[in-house]
Each structure stands twice: as structure tokens, then as C-alpha cells.
Structure 1
């Protein structure tokens, strides 16, 4: 029942927020906060809880009949990996509500309804183990995100929203075809029609069939990650989305792609994924370098951060297909740290645009004197993005490189150049925006600094990124059983379970 409540509370909260928007603009905001806070209170007691007796990784689960004639059930399972990602989703959802308090003034009820429904879809993605139910939540989270971009975005919001839908829906169709093919192949082999992930593991099929089905799943998740060359929707969507939309996109929705690679692609098709690993790692390295290069060339601060996400998530793709303990631990930390640091940078860009009405770094400079608190937080998260030791991004990227070194020395050496490129664009952002000579016109009003509400949010995110950097062991302990189970499922016959090499 607990897992169902995690879905019902934000879903119903979204309906109430929409209905209450006509009465008072603050009501939807408080409803959203109460709904997400209730989910957080339900989730916190699960931290550190032991797995269920007789289960390899699951903390809690529920399996109810839904469409039994088609082998579809309402199956939700929670392990340590799902738990940390759901916590990230809820926390960033709360942050999105707080930082949108003054930014969103039109159709406030509908805005918070879509925010809560997007959160519901993401939580469902992290819980669903019936593949039909997973696909349902995968599609559910896209619709409200489209409206968040199209209705509350910036100048070219309709173009960005339509592009987002075309890329994600087109790739989702490939995944749906792959799901149906896998189910029917399993039915032909066993006589049992089911969409149950646990039952579909180890389905017998030819190597060619497995490769094509794996590719259908991979493309869907690579688009969402996003991996080069499927990344072109991301800069437009980030640039045009409202601040809360950018936070959810960078902090949460991109992680669903990485989660899909971990949970479905490699475990369902271990031999095909093993064969495909060099190609996937090549795409990961290409994303690291290409994203960093494009980030360095941007003048729009929001677009720079968007391209930096392509680079950072390239490390995730590299780590997933290295498929060993160190690399997968790094993938989890990188997902969490990227969600915190990049989400914080988008919040600061939104606050900056609200104050000086531009995102163009050519029109900035010397902001530290006018807005020292905003500039100080900006520097902290910029150096977190470049991977400064002691902050969470360093732990994630270091472990990924350490794990990928065991899988492929050449890929690791080339990927490490991304750390240098990351330092270049991060320091460029700090120098052009916060230091140097001010470009403000004589006599113009001094922009006001961060409010207490923003300072509280940013202070919490600073503590989170420092905590991940200095003491990530609780995260490792939480996800260890789930990662061990995934490695066992995703290792082809004849390989050592903890050290599968591409």
C-alpha cells in the first residue's frame, strides 16, 4: 500500500491544485508542497531498511492483477536504486515549487498540477516492474512536461516542446515494439503471456533477435539520457522551459534514461549488451567531449548548462556499459550529484534572468559586486560541475573512470579529457558572469540579490553536494543489494558476475 500511496498522493494533489487555482493563487503552491512533503515522509523511513526475507534486493513490493487476460499486472517493486532516485525526485519537486513561487503568476493551479503529475510519472517509472505499467508511466511523465514547456516557457517554447515530444515519443514507440516482441517471444517459448520483468529475464532467443530488441530499448533510453547523437532536443527544451521545468528535466527526467539502461537494457539482454558495449562506450565518450566543447562555445548561460548535461551524462553511459562495481557505484553518485548541481545552476540562471532580464553572458560581468550571494552560490555549483574534489560530481566521475579503466583503457584516457574541458567551460561561466568589469549601464538600478527563500533552497543543495562528496558511503550501502542483483542478471554466461568486461 505504501508504494501505491507514493503515486496517489501527488496524482490527487495535482487535481486539487488545479481545482484550487481559481480560488487563490497560493493554494496550489501549498497543496503541491504538502503532497510532496507527504511523499517524502513516507519515503524517509525506508532508508536503511533491510531487504525483504528471501528477496535478493527488494525492500518492499506489491503485485496486484490489472489486466490478467493479457498478463499485465500492477507490479511495483522498490530497491535501494529506486529509493535514492525517488528521494531525488521528491526533493527536486519541492525545490521546483519553492523557486517558482514568484516566477509563475499565470494559470498557477494548472502549472502545479502538471508539476505534480510529472513527478507521479517519474516515481512510477522508478517503481514499475511490469513492462506495460513501466511504459504507461514512461508516457505519463512526458505529457505534463510538454505542457510545462509549451505554456510557461520562453520565446520559442512551442518549437522546443514539439521537438521534445517528437524525439521522446518516436523513441518510445521503438521501445513499445521491443517490449511486445519480447513478450511474444517469451510466450512462444513458455506458453505463458506476461509483462513481468522478473519472468522475462533470461528469455531464450537468437543473438540477432536479442541485439535488435536491446537496440529498441537502448535508443529510447539514450534519447532521454541524452546520448549523442540523440541529444539535440535537450538544449532547446532546457533553454525554453521555465526554471522549474529545467530543474525537473535536468535533475529527474534525464535520470530515467540512465535508470532504464541499468534496470532493463543490460539485465534483459546481457549478451547483446556485452556485444554492443564498445559502441555504447564510444557514444558515451563522444558525448563527454562533444557536450563540453559545445558548452564552451555558448553565450546563453542556460544553453551552456544544457550542453554540460550532455557531457556529464556521457560519463553515465560510459559507466553503465563498463558494467563493474566501481563504475556502477559511480553512475549512481553521478546521477544524484548531477541532479543537485545542475538543478541548482538552472535555479540561479532563472533568478538571474528575473533580475537582469537576460541570459547572455556577453551582457553580464561584475555581478559579484551587485549580487554576492547569487554569485557565491553560482561559483560553488560551477566548480562542482567541473568535478572539484570534495564535491559529489568528483566522486561520481572518478569512480566511473576507475571502473571503465578496468573495461577499456583507451576509452578511459579519452574520456578523462572531458574533465579538462569541463573545467574550461565552468570557469568561463564564473569569469564572464560574476567577475570582470560590469556591463551595467550608468544610472541603472542595482539588481537585488537572492531572497531568503532562494538562500534556504541553495543552502540545502550546497549541503547535499558536499555531503555526497565527503561521505557517499550511505548511498553505496543503500544501493549495494540492488546493484549486485543487477550485475548478476546482466552478466552473460561465462563472465564473472562482478567484473563483466565489454
Structure 2
């Protein structure tokens, strides 16, 4: 078995063993979970250190026949677009495993679900076959449904149901688009590499537009963009903290990754034709997400809406690449590189923020910011890490968000000279909402009825590395950008065909 296959399926194998063992202590379950996720991260580091793309542009490729009647195979591999997301995924799952050393009810089932989700998310990012991609895409919905419904708050069942129905509807639209690509290909295939080479719907007119529409719809629901975002706030508010960290940090990227892996390179003509609409959706998501977040009193719900805002920057960037002329490849490369960097940055920063909301709720049993005040005096570590995560989220220089957003705006401006300045307003609003939230929670007179103890060792050990990585990327981004930029250039070449 290849190293990449081991990376993908090791968590699932451990989950099966945990569930099969008749008697095992909660402590043993937790440390098995941590050991597995730590092993996954070590494997990713080894893959990164030895990464060399082949002629196809992918490394560690495995291609085996799976469903020969429709030319679908077990085809996996990684490149500069997927490897950063694989690394971010492994990091976040390890952080959630450490975080859950706190008291977690029914920890064996909880750990098994998270290990299952880790396999699903890693599998999607390395998939080079549309059917394989769809299987992992759909299974992510199932895993997160049970996390929300089983370990969420008092309205968890309703939020989980809404999450499942919305995202499952999106996955059906995505499957319809995949079937359309299969039918259009000559010869028929679901292989992502071959479909990208073929460009089967070049100059096809209406069929290409309809297939792009179904794929964009499926991915937009998962991302989510407006107006398909309404499942996100209740799902986040009701989910446990670790579930929200994975939902925002990883599962939302399954949608944005689908845009750069499937929609853009396989349907370049239709993408360029409707890129302006994509840009408009991106800008509306940026402004709407920030404005609605500004009006929230619920700390966790506020962070949920900032995810709509941050995903909007990614949509703006990938839409603008279709509007840039073929002579300005530098702008295209910058926009795509910024979009992928933003996926990684948002995963780390928002993952940390949602884990911090879990600390708040565990102490005070509410997310209502009006119920707190003056927490910095009693919980300085909690206040310091929240301040760092908030400044990182608003794109302050020195953090990964600044690197990502600077590239997004610089690359998007030539193609979208009106929309890009409008998106700048999102940064201003985000700064206002995070500063207001920090002031209400940590400054001012303390609330005697809401005494909050400082971070425990597991909480600190899970959150600090995420923020440290955001700072590392912000100060020394070259190691990440050197990986993404060649793949971004390849994507720009495919889009300009």
C-alpha cells in the first residue's frame, strides 16, 4: 500500500478498531486518537519534505481500476493545490484530538467519528477521480451530521437536520454535473486528470453552462456563499467546539477546493463567460457576512458569519481569474495563490477561534457576549490567545491572513476593478466587529456571575500551535508559496485555453 493510501485510511482503520474493542477506558481512547492524528501529521511532513511532482503535475500517484464499466478508478495524488490543505487538515484534527482531552461524553464514539471525518477529508483532497471525490464529499455530510446531532447543544437535532438536507441537496447537484462531464468526455471517463486534459465542453455553449451551473451550485452550498449560507450559523452555534473547528476549518474548504480542482480547469470557457457573476457573489458574501456578524451578540454565531465573509474573498479571487486577460498571467497566479493561502489561513485561525468559543461556553454556559466582561483580569492566557486569533482573522500584518488577502486583492484588481475595492470594506467591518467583541468579553468591569477560569493545559496545547502556524506563515510565507505558485500557474494555463 502506498504512503498516500496509508495517510488516508489509517484514521478509519483506527476508528474501526476502537469501535470493535469491547472494553477500553476513555483515557486510552483519547491517547489512541491523539497518537493517530499525530502520526498523520508526521506522514504529511514526510510527504511535504519529499514532494516532487511528476509529469502529470501530481506526486505519490496511485491509479487502480475501481468501476471499469464507467472508467472510474481509485486515482489519488497530491500537488501544490492539495498538499497545503492536506497539511492543514492533519494539523486541525490533531488540535481537536488534544482539545478533547477535556471531559468529552461518549468519547469512544466521538473519537471514531472524528477519525472517520479525517479519512473522508484527506481522501477528498487527494482524489483524482470524480466518483471518488463525490463519495468522500457525501460521507463528510454524514460524519458531521452525527457530530452535531450527538454532541451539540439543545437545538442540535434541528441544526443537524438543516445542515444535512442543505448540503445533501448540494451534493446531488454536484453529482449531476459530474455525470454531465462524463457524458461529454470522449472517451467517457470520470478521471480528473483526463477530463482536465480533454476540456470536453469547450465551445459547447448551453451544455457547458448548465453543467457549470450544477457544479457551482453544489460547491456553493458547501462553501457556503450567499444565498446558500443559511445552514451554517445554526450548525456552528449548536455544534460542539471541536465539531465547529472542523466544520469551518476543513469542511468548508471541500467546496472552495472543488472550484480550483474541478470547475475552473474542466470548464474554462463557461467559467470565463460567467466569471463576473462569480465575482459579484464573492463580494456580496464578503460584505453580507461581515455586516451580519457585526450585529451578533452570540460570540460563536458571530464567528460563523465571519466564515461567510472569508469564503467570499476566495470566491472573489477565483472569479477574478476568469476576467483577467491572458496577457496578465501574474495577476491570475496571484489571485489563485491568494485563494489557496486563504483556505489554509482561514482553517488555522477560525479553527482556533471556535476552540476558544468552546472554552467560553464550558465556563459560562452561554455564548452571549453581554453576559461576560473583564475576563482578561482572571484569564490572561485566554484573553491573549483570543486577541491574537482576532487580529489574525482581520488580516493584520504578521499573520497568514494578511499574506492571503494581499495576494487576493492584488491579483483580483486588474480583472475586477470595482468589486475589489468594495471587498476592502469587509476588512474594516471585520476589524470593528472583532474589536467590539474583544472589548465586551475581556475588558471593562468584570461580571461577578460569570467567573471564567483560564485555559487548561490541553486547551492551550491545542490552540497555541494553530496561532503559531498563522504567525509563521505571516512572517515566513515562502515555504508555503513556493509550493502553491507552480500549481497556480498551471491552473491559470488551463483556464486560458
Q: Structure 2 length as normaliser, TM-score?
A: 0.95
- Structure 2 gaps of 5+ residues are 322-331
Per-residue deviation at 1:480?
2.3
Per-residue deviation at 1:396?
0.9
* Backbone CA RMSD of aligned residues: 1.4
Per-residue deviation at 1:417?
0.7
8 Å Cα contact 1:17/1:29 also seen in 2: no
Number of aligned residues: 483
Q: Counterpart of 2:307?
A: 309
Q: Which of 200, 205, 230 lines up with 1:203 in the alignment?
A: 200
8 Å Cα contact 2:249/2:351 also seen in 1: yes
**Alpha-carbon displacement from aligned partner over 1:351-378 (angstroms, at most 9, x marks no partner):** 1111122110011111111111101111
Q: Counterpart of 2:325?
A: none
8 Å Cα contact 1:20/1:109 also seen in 2: no
The 4+ residue runs of structure 1 with deviation greater than 6 A are: none
With 457-466 and 416-425 compared, the bigger mean Cα shift is at 457-466
Q: Counterpart of 2:17?
A: 16
- For 2:213 and 2:168, the matched residues in 1 are separated by 16
List aligned pairs for 1:371-390, cutoff 5 A. Answer: 371-390=379-398
**Alpha-carbon displacement from aligned partner over 1:29-74 (angstroms, at most 9, x marks no partner):** 122222222222222122243534433x212200001111221110
Q: Which of 476, 480, 496 lines up with 1:471 in the alignment?
A: 476
Q: Counterpart of 2:421?
A: 413
Partner SS for 1:407: coil
- For 1:19 and 1:358, the matched residues in 2 are separated by 36
Q: Counterpart of 1:370?
A: 378
**Alpha-carbon displacement from aligned partner over 1:432-454 (angstroms, at most 9, x marks no partner):** 1111112223xx7x432111222
**Alpha-carbon displacement from aligned partner over 1:397-447 (angstroms, at most 9, x marks no partner):** 111111110111100111111111111111011111111112223xx7x43
Partner SS for 1:359: coil
**Alpha-carbon displacement from aligned partner over 1:81-118 (angstroms, at most 9, x marks no partner):** 2111011111100111111222412x211111111111
Per-residue deviation at 1:456?
2.2
Q: Which of 180, 188, 192 lines up with 1:193 in the alignment?
A: 188
8 Å Cα contact 1:119/1:141 also seen in 2: no
- For 1:487 and 1:429, the matched residues in 2 are separated by 40
Q: Counterpart of 2:324?
A: none
8 Å Cα contact 2:130/2:178 also seen in 1: yes
Q: Counterpart of 2:327?
A: none
- For 1:148 and 1:21, the matched residues in 2 are separated by 22
Q: Counterpart of 1:425?
A: 433
8 Å Cα contact 2:360/2:452 also seen in 1: no
- For 1:158 and 1:298, the matched residues in 2 are separated by 23
1:455 aligns with 2:460: yes
Partner SS for 2:177: helix
Q: Which of 417, 420, 435 lines up with 2:443 in the alignment?
A: 435
Partner SS for 1:476: helix
Q: Counterpart of 1:49?
A: 50
Q: Counterpart of 1:85?
A: 85
Per-residue deviation at 1:395?
1.2
- Structure 1 gaps of 5+ residues are 494-502
Q: Counterpart of 1:160?
A: 159
Q: Structure 1 length as normaliser, TM-score?
A: 0.94
Q: Counterpart of 1:140?
A: 139
Partner SS for 1:456: helix
Per-residue deviation at 1:163?
0.6
Q: Counterpart of 2:410?
A: 402
Q: Which of 338, 343, 363 lines up with 1:335 in the alignment?
A: 343
List aligned pairs for 1:17-166, cutoff 5 A. Answer: 17-20=18-21, 22-55=23-56, 57-105=57-105, 107-166=106-165
8 Å Cα contact 2:276/2:320 also seen in 1: no
- For 1:415 and 1:326, the matched residues in 2 are separated by 17
List aligned pairs for 1:216-231, cutoff 5 A. Answer: 216-231=214-229
With 476-485 and 268-277 compared, the bigger mean Cα shift is at 476-485
